[in-house]
Amino acid sequence: MNEMKCIIFSIILCLLQKSDNKSVLSGDLLGKIGITVIIEWEEPKDATNPDYVAAAERALQLTAGWFCNAIFVNGDYPDILKAQVAKFAKTSGLDRSPLPEFSEDEKRYNRGRLLSYHSM
């Protein structure tokens, strides 16, 4: 679950750099921080079958959504991601989800913060 901690720190650092928060990133640490999200676009096997449509959306949310939702949408992880990780934690005997949570202040700060991006 160290990957989950790494991801939340990547999101926070990217947003802090975008805000030009000199009190957090200054001196020797001042620099440019960016984020690259590589997405394997998923299409439903049968676009008329709701199960296939839901599976394709779930695949997108579980890969790209946990970065993009937090940075570009509402400042938090997608609900499906939180539910899947909580389910994993329960079946693994963990007492809580290993997915780090954003505080309400962090969610407000994250929401729509990074609006300039490029895609190809």
52 φ, ψ (degrees, to nearest 5): -70, -40
The predicted pLDDT at position 80 comes to 92
Q: Which residue has the higher pLDDT, 76 or 12?
A: 76
Domain containing residue 46: 2-23+37-110
Q: For residue 119, name the pLDDT band (cuts at 50, 70, 90).
A: very low
**pTM: predicted TM-score of the whole model, two decimal places:** 0.64
Residue 101 CB-half CA count within 13 A: 9
Q: How confident is the model over 10-15, as a mean pLDDT?
A: 62
Whether residue 19 is contained in a domain is answered as yes
How many structural domains does the chain have? 1
pLDDT of residue 21: 47
Q: Is the dihedral of CA 86, 88, 93, 98 positive or negative?
A: negative
Q: Is pLDDT of 116 > 90?
A: no
Confidence tier at 67 by pLDDT (50, 70, 90): confident
Note whether residue 103 is domain-resident.
Answer: yes
- Decide if 41 is inside a domain: yes
Quick one: 66 exposed, middle or buried, by C-beta within 10 A (0-12, 13-18, 19+)? buried
Could you read off the pLDDT of 68-109 as tens digits, one per residue? 888 788 889 999 989 998 999 999 999 888 888 888 988 888
